[in-house]
Chain A
Amino acid sequence: MKMTERIRKLREQSLNAENRISAERALLITEFYKSGVADAEPVPVQRALSFKYILEHKYICINEGELIVGERGPAPKATPTYPEICIHSLQDLQILNDRPKVSFKSDEATRAAYRDIIIPYWKGKSNRDRIFQNLPQEWKDAYDAGIFTEFQEQRAPGHTALGIKMFRTGLLDLKKEIAESLAKLDMLNDPEGVDKRDELRAMDIVCDAMIRYAERHAEKLEELAAVEKDPVRKKELEQMAAICRKVPAHAPETVHEALQHYWFIHLGVVTELNPWDSFNPGRLDQSLYPLYKKQMEEGTTTREEVYEVLQSFWVKFNNHPSPPKVGVTAEESNTYTDFCLINVGGVKEDGSDGVNEMSYILLDVIKEMRLLQPSSMIQVSKKNPDRFIRAAVEIIKTGFGQPSVFNTDALVQEMLRAGKDVRDARNGGCSGCVETGAFGTEAYILTGYFNLPKILELTLNDGFDKRTGKQIGLKTGKATDYHTYEELFAAYRAQVQHFMGIKLTGNNIIERIFMKHMPVPFLSILIDDCIVKGKDYMCGGARYNSSYVQGVGLGSITDMLTALRYHVYDHKTVSMETMEKALENDFKGYEDLQYQLVYHTPKYGNDDDYADEQEVQVFDMYYDVLSGHKSPRGADYRVNMLPTTCHVYFGKVTGATPDGRNAWKVLSEGISPVQGADTNGPTAVIRSAAKIDHIKTGGTLLNQKFTPSLLSTEEGCNNLVHLIRAYFRMDGHHIQFNVVNAETLRDAQKHPENYRDLIVRVAGYSDYFNDLGEDLQNEIICRTEQTTF
């Protein structure tokens, strides 16, 4: 359905708004803490009162013509900061302002506020300061060497989505639950009784704060209605005011109410802190459909109205860039995307086909809006009809990288394997890039990327990092000391174990800091069973708790090990001495060897068992090393394989590698083959990718690039459906398609001005091509373009 004129305007406004820093939130929270009013309160109550203070004083922004109201900052793309998590220096603000990609402008007033008020108060007191104060030197050395990254150093743990239940529940209902939980507390015998009481008090405060915040919107809307000349808009403003007086206090009863209800909740979560993966409405078609159906039956709405309010809702997400990141965190996630991933399709709680009329409506909205945010995906179960996938392919083929495609049956198996109840599993999905979660019941926190290829480089150098000049690994020997492939791999495994130990120790220190200093009572009321347990989301209050360390560069590490096994050990075509020298010299003077390594060596992604054996070996080892550990909040550590943009950063810290890759060049992303190494077509890639056991993960990411010609016919589109079905029969977790030809991309590099709307799939998310760094642009161009044969 076509956009109405006002939606077109709102969309334009969103696209044209400048990304800038707003000091509003930082100033309000500074005022609050400076006032000392809550100094005597326990931490959760302090946090709740600061939340209340912000929501009471924050500017209420209502954009002309919009149907869903509420902004994270005072205007679209005016982005708040979180000084209690990470305090930006004036220099940071300058860098954010000036950097060519993913910039955030700041004006003189903002800089003055930072200089005179915000920095003087928070300097040395932010969570980031606490974290770096507490981490051991070996962690810092490994971090500087680029062995791993740390998600929580500038942002807060989030990684969760709203469950369907919260679309049927109002905050007043939650207040009742909180009161019941308080009443049940055993203050005499429960050693945690006091903590629970404090937490529940905090939860109650945030409910009131949010209801009041919605009322402030109602008041403003009523003011606007009073002076509105256009009778149609006047009525609309009055209706919107009524909605804001109803939700989120009460459960929504219409599609419009449900979307406004979610939006207030979303604003609450992202105002309380800056969680990684902002927040997510999750299974939106499942949540909205019963309301839609009822309204249509009663004749109280029309499809046109529903479309328009959904489109207005879509614009809201696009108004919210991810909060500014600097340093390594900016490198690993260099994007405005705030990783909100709308799930469409999948199965219902009882396991039956979940695709409904709303699923198709949402696909239409995705197609028509064509916005970077929110991101979208389809869940595909064997129970869903082909027609549904086919409808998604119609959007995929237009080449803006959405929706990505997930395997519901695999997700459910992954969650069952992790011990979840089958209903919770079926109500779940994926958020962020590709992360599996039980929506509304799980805290599945990503903690950082892990550089698998770099560790092989260290293994070949006796644990010494040449780039930073430090001995950071174990002294397992030099390359020439490994006489067999098995010896080499055993040493590699020992190094991975060593660095994983360092990473997890750091994680646990950081998690304790968040548990103690950064409770999130608002997020906690939304996720079961925080209220029942009287426990914060940060402290293990969720029904299920998982923590992830994301493996990066599976394709690269597989090809590196394969090259060594093939040339040095099995065929002895190259001696380890020669290989060492070639790597040391970045293949200068060894170009013929490099040619052999690139073009005449088995490669992952071609359904070649010789190469794929190393893929499975590395994956299983990584799984073994990480599994079985528990975090302080009681979470189980699990693996997933996704990179965001970290494969670029990890490449920048990794020297020449035995697969013929030059020093500092990009590594492979997700579980995709090394860029250009897959020459046997998509079925071979899929077969290779399916050799690891996806069910043991919490997400894998497979990127495939298709030229438009491959999808120009009915038959071509149908074959894409078949390709997806086949991968999913093999338990593949996720696949996404970039449909664009290399020539277009090259031209876009030369004439960015003509391609401002060009969105491409990066890795688990889409981004504007122009906002990507040149290296990442090049990488996307060189990723294999699958063509017809």
Chain B
Amino acid sequence: MCGNIFDIKRYAIHDGPGIRTTVFLKGCGLHCWWCHNPESQSMGMVSMKQVRKLNGREFDELRPVGYEITAADLVEEIAKDYVFFEESGGGVTFSGGEPLLQPTFLLACLKGCKARKIHTCIDTAGVASGEYLEEICRYTDLFLYDVKTANPEKFRQCIGEGFEKACDHLKTIAERGNRVIVRIPVIPGFNDDSKSVEEILALLQTMPALREVSLLPFHRTGSDKYKRLDMEWKMGDVASLKEDDLQGMRATFREAGYQVL
């Protein structure tokens, strides 16, 4: 069982509890303007320019992004940090890209990890067919579920197709009792106005099982990658947000009874 991934990051401490290894699966059906992993969007291999310095001289190279790996090898790689997971209550997080786009590979990896008692987490926007979702849920301890907007029109414009799927899958996962943390990337000019926030809140309230929300401030760290990939950075010169900028929105969700992480 092979899958396409483009990176493995160890000591990832912002993708779920404890010390984690985050695996980035390749391919995503969306094209969010603010995406900080644009190299992940196509399922196939892409090349990214890389300039590195040595003794003041610059070396250009085209770095291929993405490679095939078997589920067994990947699990082996993940398990290397087992001691750290055990000490910290951490584990693995499958991110992307959209991990649900490679459901059989993802499932094989999840099963492999669970067989080794590794805590599993999926970071998803839910835009996928939903194949094997039920089984995937059985081997997943935590979902970090991205909700970027509750407005179907806006979703279509700035993100892509699949709004209804994303909502359906979130509902399915929440209702079957999996732990879900809703992650809202706060993007200036896109979803940081009170109307957008209210819409998201209203959507979440249709799924009473959802209790935890986390807000992620927009940051520009990915902008450089667009140049290196010859892609357009549509966010222009919108500045990164600071934690403080989210205080109001945090309060809104807290008042609505959500645990804001």
Contact surface of A with B, Cβ cutoff 8 Å: 591-592, 594-595, 598-599, 607, 660, 662, 680-684, 687, 710, 715-716, 718-719, 722-723, 725-726, 729-730, 786, 788-789
Contact = CB atoms under 8 A, between A and B. Distances in A.
Nearest to B15: A789
Contact of B18 (A599, A681, A719): A719
Contact of A595 (B14, B19, B54, B81): B54
Contacts of A729: 83, 87
A719 B81 contact: no
Given A591-B54, A719-B18, A722-B19, A607 B87 contact: no
A673 B54 CA distance: 18
B9 A681 contact: yes
A591 B56 CA distance: 11
Contacts of A595: 52, 54, 59
Contacts of B18: 719, 722
B22 A722 contact: no
Given A722-B18, A722-B88, A723-B19, A687 B80 contact: yes
A682 to B, nearest CB: 5
Contact of B11 (A662, A681, A725): A681
Contacts of B19: 683, 719, 722-723, 726
A725 B12 CA distance: 17
A275 B59 CA distance: 50
B11 A789 contact: yes
Interface in B47-87: 52, 54-55, 57, 59, 80-81, 83-84, 86-87
Nearest to B89: A722
Contact of A723 (B14, B54, B59, B84): B84
Contact of B88 (A607, A718, A730, A789): A718
10 contacts: A591-B54, A660-B54, A683-B10, A683-B81, A683-B84, A710-B13, A726-B83, A726-B87, A729-B87, A789-B22
A789 B12 contact: yes
A594 B57 CA distance: 11
A525 B22 CA distance: 57
Interface residues of B, number: 22
Given A716-B13, A719-B18, A726-B84, 13 more contacts: A591-B55, A594-B54, A595-B59, A599-B59, A681-B11, A684-B10, A687-B81, A722-B84, A722-B90, A786-B11, A789-B10, A789-B11, A789-B13
A722 B83 CA distance: 9
A726 B19 CA distance: 11
Contacts of A725: 87
| Residue of A591, A592, A680, A726 contacting most chain B CB atoms (<10 Å) | A726
A682 B18 CA distance: 14
A681 B54 contact: no
Q: Which has the most chain B C-beta neighbours within 10 Å: A592, A682, A718, A722? A: A722
A680 B10 contact: yes
Contacts of A726: 19, 83-84, 86-88
Contacts of B88: 718-719, 722-723, 726
A462 to B, nearest CB: 29
A599 B9 contact: no
Nearest to B82: A726
Contacts of A786: 11
Contacts of A598: 54
A756 B18 CA distance: 37
A660 B55 CA distance: 11
Nearest to B81: A683
A715 B13 contact: yes
Nearest to B11: A681
Interface string B228-247: 00000000000000000000
B250 to A, nearest CB: 15
Contacts of A716: 13
A187 B164 CA distance: 100
A531 to B, nearest CB: 45
A478 B248 CA distance: 71
Nearest to B88: A722
B184 to A, nearest CB: 19
Given A598-B54, A722-B18, A723-B19, A730 B83 contact: yes
B185 to A, nearest CB: 17
A591 B83 contact: no
A726 B86 CA distance: 8
Nearest to B50: A599
Nearest to A722: B88
Contacts of B52: 595, 599
The 3 closest A-B pairs by CB, nearest first: A722-B88, A681-B11, A722-B87
Interface in B156-206: none
Contacts of A607: 10, 80
Nearest to B14: A788
A599 B53 CA distance: 10
Contacts of B87: 722-723, 725-726, 729
A586 to B, nearest CB: 10
A171 B209 CA distance: 73
Contacts of A681: 9-11
Interface in B1-22: 9-14, 18-19, 22
Contacts of B80: 607, 687
Contact of B9 (A594, A723, A789): A789
Contacts of B84: 683, 722-723, 726
Interface string B138-152: 000000000000000
A337 B54 CA distance: 34
Contacts of A684: 10-11
Contacts of B57: 591
B39 to A, nearest CB: 16
A722 B13 CA distance: 12
Interface in B84-103: 84, 86-88, 90
A715 B87 CA distance: 13
A788 B54 contact: no
Most buried by A among B18, B55, B87: B87
B30 to A, nearest CB: 22
A787 to B, nearest CB: 10
B74 to A, nearest CB: 15
